[in-house]
Amino acid sequence: MAKIVISGGEPLNGEVWISGAKNAVLPILASTLLCDESMSIGNVPHLHDVTTTMELLGQMGAQFIIDERMKIHVDPRHTHNFHAPYDLVKTMRASILVLGPLVARYGEAHVSLPGGCAIGSRPVDLHIRGLQALGAELVVENGYIHAKAKRLKGARVGMDLVTVTGTENIMMAAALASGTTVIENAAQEPEVVDLANCLNAMGAQVSGAGTNTITIQGVERLHGTHYDVLPDRIETGTFLVAGAITSGRVLLKKARPNTLDSVLSKLEQAGAHLNVGEDTIELDMRGNRPKAVTLTTAPYPAFPTDMQAQFVALNTVAEGVGVVTETVFENRFMHVQELQRLGADIRVEGNTAIIRGVPEMTGAPIMATDLRASACLVLAGLVAKGDTTVDRVYHIDRGYECIEEKLGMLGAKIRRLPS
């Protein structure tokens, strides 16, 4: 298995551009199943999860052309297979996003249940209940969700919990339903808004995305369009922490700063000087050791769970004690034991990690357990003295485009050892 080796201990200084958002492009690719014509999608990040989604849609019959600027042309008109097999779904939970579009557009879907996950149990009951509210018949048998429906009918769908992909699945299905659907307690994440904007560009009538109530007036059909994916706020936040943890300076371009308010405010509390433009963010931490920050994760606009591990890494070398509480997933502290191998002082009590900053960490071999944990370990490697070798880096390739090249542009000494 490929590994990443980082020789840490030096401040980063440089600039880098931000890629399209993983968690926006995946539902947008799934939404092409709803469409009667070819679609083109721009600002597509080159990520393993994008390849997996293309493989999944390809098995269903969709045809793809990728041009040199990572613009993807999708022709969904030959879709004939409504099956998302376990082998693909188990590698990428976001495969569940084909459920709503398939049942809405083709009246049939057979999607494997995703099964366990490194960060929590992650059931999909709310996706199922939401589609049932729209009139689909769903049964779970032999590890698969089997769904069928005539035309879905708009309904009021109250979500017991805020769920990002659950909201997206129902929103996509409702786009082609008859009548009006209202999703209550909807997720407000920028990626949900991006999907709504894409659906509207295809002719859907979605309003209220970005608030906790989304209204969808169903239409008969959706047409092809071109859509550019929004910049990745989690990649942006990760590079900002890379600057902060190394007491360096980073300038990020092609970013969307207004999707990162909670993260930027925590970086300021950590002592970073920020200079925010319309699509740029400069972080300057030169000459300063970060100060520990205390935070609690929760759905947007609160602090994102997908940035929790990176801020645990930041706190490991900060001045003072930071308390990080995870409320979205029940098992998202797998990175802690690996950070302890580098010399971090962290105690986990239930869903809270108490991190006492140490003046210095030292490099060691460590292992990534999931996507954001792997980003956290790379960040820790940037500041730990000596060599840190991060094993199982395939996790990082799921969600970070060209991570070594980009960190290299910021001056990091980082290289990949092939398997």
Q: Which residue, 170 or 251, has its beta carbon nearer to ligand EPU?
A: 170
Give the shortest CB-36-to-ligand EPU separation in angstroms.
Answer: 25
* 401 near ligand EPU (CB under 6 A): no
Residue among 143 and 277 whose Cβ is closer to ligand EPU: 143
Q: Does 233 bind ligand EPU (CB under 6 A)?
A: no
Does residue 391 contact residue 366 with C-beta atoms inside 8 Å?
yes
Query: Is residue 172 part of the contact set for ligand EPU (CB under 6 A)?
Result: no
In the DSSP assignment, the letter for residue 222 is B
Catalytic residue among 35, 117, 198, 376: 117
What is the pattern of x (binds ligand EPU, CB under 6 A) and - over residues 145-164? ----------------x-xx
Q: Which is nearer to ligand EPU, 123 or 158 (CB)?
A: 123
Q: Any catalytic annotation for residue 117?
A: yes
Report CA 13 to chain centroid distance, whole Å: 26
Q: What separation in angstroms does the CA of 91 have from each of 18, 55, 128, 375, 378?
A: 25, 12, 20, 18, 22
Q: Which amino acid, 370?
A: D
- Contacting range for ligand EPU; rule: CB under 6 A; set: 20-28, 214-222, 244-252, 380-388: 20-28
Q: Does 184 bind ligand EPU (CB under 6 A)?
A: no
Provide the minimum distance between the beta carbon of 387 and ligand EPU in the complex, in angstroms, as a whole number.
Answer: 26
373 three-class SS: helix
CB 5 within 8 A of CB 216: no
CB of 353 to ligand EPU, least distance (A): 17
Contact status, residue 272 vs residue 305, Cβ threshold 8 Å: no
In the block, which residue shows the tokens 């659907």?
Answer: 181
Nearest Cα to Cα of residue 30 among 86, 90, 93: 93
User: Which is nearer to ligand EPU, 125 or 184 (by Cβ)?
Assistant: 125
Q: How far apart are CA 312 and CA 324, in angstroms?
A: 7
d(CA 304, CA 209): 18
Q: Which of 58, 65, 125, 277 binds ligand EPU (CB under 6 A)?
A: 125
Residues that bind ligand EPU (CB under 6 A): 22-23, 26, 93-94, 120, 122-127, 161, 163-166, 191, 305-306, 328-329, 371-372, 399
| Residues carrying an active site annotation | 117
